[in-house]
Amino acid sequence: MSKFGVLFRTTAVRLSALYLVLFSLCAVFLVFYVTGMSERLLQQQTREAISVEATQIEDIYERAGVSGLLRSLERRARQPGANLYVIAGPSGEILAGNVAGLEPGLLDDEGWTSEPFHYRRFTDENRADNHVALAQVLVLDNGLRILVGRDLQEPEKFRVLVRQALVVALGIMGLGALVIWFGIGRNALRRIDRMSEASTKIMAGDLSQRLPMSGSGDEFDRLSESLNAMLGRIEKLNEGLKQVSDNIAHDLKTPLTRLRNKAEAALASKEGGNQNGALEEIIGESDQLIRTFNALLMISRVEAGSAVAEMSDVDLSGIVGDCVELYEPLAEESALRLEADVQPGVVISGNRELIGQALGNLIDNAIKYAEGAENPRIRLEMKKSGVNVVLAVADHGPGIPENMRREVVKRFVRLDESRTKPGTGLGLSLVEAVMEMHHGSLDLWATEPDGNGLTVRMVFPAGAT
């Protein structure tokens, strides 16, 4: 595609071209209208002048007779820019005047010549009748014919002049439009080129690049601005993602290293029994890894929203009941008491599996961290509250310092840095993802006024009753 071709495909140029065509049509119409009108006006004036002169000539003839008329005509004919005068005999032969030749038969009829006619002047070198005039023919009572006329060169010249002026003006305007097209089009193209250049860099992976702004606040700037805002968001998400994958890499490296070390040790060991034990440990480690992977996958599935299709009306009270029943023996084993205060028959729109798993994670955490607490109660409360359904799990364990409560929801973040408690560090992340999918929220509080204990609240929109 040639440069001009590219230019022509810009919107600015196309619009300008359309305007130019419309403008030209108007201008051409204007040229013809103006010149036509002015020509008619001038002819009218010419006729009036001729009429006046003819009346004067008739007057002179009546007062001074033929000789006076002749003198008068001679004098008039000599004046610069004089009118046309012809004195002819009764049969039409030219006797005197300032005209060298006329179209034949012009003098036959008295009155106005019907059309502008051609005539020849004495000054003309060739013998062609190449001047145009309007005239009136008078017939005197002695049979003499007198023609009084006026050359039409002036109006004709005027007409040509007006036309030329208009054509020139139009030409200049057209040229101007072309230059403006080119300017606008090229400017637009250049800015778009700059934007594409920046996007190419972004596509190549440099997310810190931004689209250029001219600062004029025009539509290009507005477009760049919103695209830049979008890029900012993408960059932030991407950084988050990178953070997560860094965490994942780190958190998987540790168990993998442990796995490898155990396998190595088992390989080096000569005792068969020892080897079997090591292999079992290795299987345990692998199971933990698989568990971590599955939890990660589950979180990303939930976050991707692919489970939304699986939402239906679920009996939240029933799910809470199931979970209490499932975890109650485990709590008892850890010398904890699982209490439930559940409003019966609460139905929300959701995914039974995911809610069950999320609540399971919370109860599991509570049991894990409240073990050995002074107050062995873990309290589950679920009730409708206005437009929400609030499901809370409260324990009396050590709790989470306020500044860490947002942190622990992130993937692989665990309060217990030494990681003595079993777990993937993904439990709360999954709960949050599940809550987001249900258009609800997750918040963490202290159970006791002094900051001890942890209460985790899942807030669901109540939905259909």
Partner 1 sequence: MVTRMKILIVEDDLEAAAYLAKAFREAGIVSDHASDGESGLFMASENAYDVLVVDRMLPRRDGLSLITELRRRGVHTPVLILSALGQVDDRVTGLRAGGDDYLPKPYAFSELLARVEVLGRRKGTLDQDMVYRVGDLELDRLAHSVRRQGKEIPLQPREFRLLEYLMKNAGQVVTRTMLLENVWDYHFDPQTNVIDVHVSRLRSKIEKDFEPPLLRTVRGAGYMIKDDRTAEI
* Chain contacts with partner 1 (rule: CB under 8 A): 280, 283-284, 286-287, 290-291, 293-295, 297-298, 300-302, 304, 306-307, 309-310, 322, 325-327, 329-330, 332-333, 351, 353-354, 356-357, 360-361, 364, 368, 422-424, 427
Tokens at 366, concatenated: 């509570």
What whole-number distance in Å separates Cα of residue 98 and Cα of residue 100?
A: 7
Residues 105, 109, 111, 113: is their CA dihedral positive or negative?
Answer: negative
**Residue 301 CB, nearest approach to partner 1 (Å):** 5
> Which of 194, 352 has the CB closer to partner 1?
352
Amino acid in position 115: E
> Which of 132, 340 has the CB closer to partner 1?
340
**Residue 354 CB, nearest approach to partner 1 (Å):** 7
> Which of 198, 431 has the CB closer to partner 1?
431
Residues paired with 391 in a beta bridge: 382, 458
Burial (Cβ within 10 Å: 0-12, 13-18, ≥19) of residue 204: exposed
Residues paired with 385 in a beta bridge: 388
Show Cβ contacts of residue 87 under 8 Å, excluding neighbours closer than 6 positions. 69, 70, 73, 94, 95, 96, 97, 144, 145, 146
Show Cβ contacts of residue 302 under 8 Å, excluding neighbours closer than 6 positions. 354, 430, 433, 434, 436, 437
> Which of 43, 288 has the CB closer to partner 1?
288
Q: Phi first, then psi: give them for residue 438, nearest 5 degrees.
A: -90, 10
**Residue 363 CB, nearest approach to partner 1 (Å):** 9
Amino acid in position 400: I
**Residue 228 CB, nearest approach to partner 1 (Å):** 32
Burial (Cβ within 10 Å: 0-12, 13-18, ≥19) of residue 276: exposed
> Which of 73, 299 has the CB closer to partner 1?
299
**Residue 318 CB, nearest approach to partner 1 (Å):** 11
> Which of 220, 327 has the CB closer to partner 1?
327
Residues paired with 390 in a beta bridge: 383, 459
**Residue 426 CB, nearest approach to partner 1 (Å):** 10
> Which of 364, 395 has the CB closer to partner 1?
364
**Residue 267 CB, nearest approach to partner 1 (Å):** 19
